[in-house]
Amino acid sequence: MTLDQLPRASSAVVIALDSAGAERLRLMDLGILPGTEVRADLTSPLGDPTAYLVRGSLIVLRRTQARAIHVELAAT
């Protein structure tokens, strides 16, 4: 599944990034690396963008950006 499909208040682990160049570097600078746990925390009223909790920081991604991040649900 991709990060944009993660239900609100759910956690997942990043398994791969499907982007290249500056976009990939930006995601990596934000701490989105394979093995990182991500939680869908807040969603705007229209559903885009969504705020994710990553390594103790809240980051906001557009749906198109989140679609490039492959995740699997975290074990609870």
User: Can you give the pLDDT of all 76 residues of the chain as single tens digits?
Assistant: 999 999 999 999 999 999 999 999 999 999 999 999 999 999 999 989 999 999 999 999 999 999 999 999 987 6
Quote the pTM value.
0.89
Question: What homologous superfamily does CATH list for 3-73?
Answer: Ferrous iron transport protein A (FeoA) (2.30.30.90)
Q: Cα(32)–Cα(69) distance, rounded to whole angstroms?
A: 8
Place of tokens 């492959």: 70
Identify whether the C-beta of residue 11 lies closer than 8 Å to the C-beta of residue 70: no
How far apart CA 11 and CA 58 sit, in angstroms, is 14
What is the C-alpha separation between 18 and 60, in angstroms, rounded? 18
Residue ranges per structural domain of the chain: 3-73
pLDDT of residue 76: 66
pLDDT of 75 = 77
Place of tokens 């989140």: 66
